[in-house]
Chains A and B, each alone.
Chain A
Amino acid sequence: GDSVTQMEGPVTLSEEAFLTINCTYTATGYPSLFWYVQYPGEGLQLLLKATKADDKGSNKGFEATYRKETTSFHLEKGSVQVSDSAVYFCALSDSGGGGADGLTFGKGTHLIIQP
């Protein structure tokens, strides 16, 4: 079955540091890939997505590129802020994230940004 593996947390960085959160996946076919963010006490919010190989998703300074050859979708940001502190989930869908299937999530990475 499908699976998503992402780096264990917590990840603690200083403000303005460079961020990378690794994510690799196993899936049949050509899944769509997502990063979701969960701020303290809140639900999940879609951060970015990519639906095919070599696509780059970007939002709020975060980027991730769909790498089929390495089955990866690593999340990056050039300069993090305290407000980026949250839990980040990598996820995939065999149906483009639409109605047919639920999502398969990684375990989440807790990011802590210190001033």
Chain B
Amino acid sequence: GAVVSQHPSWVICKSGTSVKIECRSLDFQATTMFWYRQFPKQSLMLMATSNEGSKATYEQGVEKDKFLINHASLTLSTLTVTSAHPEDSSFYICSAPPPRGNQPQHFGDGTRLSIL
């Protein structure tokens, strides 16, 4: 079964609204989680690293004020797309490494965000 749960799986909203996406590790604690963005027929691009108890680390070119990340607990990270616009429409995917080191990350099923 899934070990990383992402919610919602699909959201459609009007331009200007803010959208929150949740990423939960279901049976393990994750001090670090990763957020990716995938454009249609494109690769996944790492947006930011979410760190429990501290600020997220953003990749170059990613607006931290646009994409707010909160890692409130050892099992939950949230990505909030603030004042979303049509160009923010994309597929957002989170991942979390298992607690035992040097093991592949677990990915969520992704959230398809459509801004009208």
Question: Which residue numbers of A lie inside 8 Å of B, CB to CB?
Answer: 4, 34, 36, 42-46, 49, 51, 89, 95-100, 102-108, 110
Contact = CB atoms under 8 A, between A and B. Distances in A.
A99 B32 contact: yes
Interface stretch (B12-20, B36-44, B67-75, B77-85): B36-44
Given A97-B105, A108-B41, A43 B97 contact: no
Contacts of B109: 42-43
Nearest to B10: A41
B101 interface: yes
B46 A103 contact: yes
26 contacts: A36-B107, A42-B109, A43-B6, A43-B109, A44-B95, A44-B107, A45-B107, A46-B104, A89-B43, A96-B101, A97-B105, A98-B98, A98-B101, A98-B102, A98-B104, A99-B32, A100-B32, A102-B36, A102-B95, A103-B95, A104-B46, A105-B36, A105-B43, A108-B42, A108-B43, A110-B41
Q: Contact size class for B?
A: 20 to 34
Contacts of B6: 43
Interface of B: 6, 31-32, 34, 36, 41-46, 49, 93, 95, 97-98, 101-105, 107-110
Contacts of A45: 107
Contacts of B36: 102, 105
Contacts, number: 65
Given A106-B43, A108-B41, A108-B43, A44 B93 contact: yes
Contacts of A89: 43-44
A110 B31 CA distance: 33
A99 B101 contact: yes
Interface core residue of A43, A97, A98, A100 (most chain B CB under 10 Å): A43
B97 A99 contact: yes
A98 B103 contact: yes
A46 B6 CA distance: 17
A43 B46 contact: no
Contacts of A43: 6, 93, 107-110
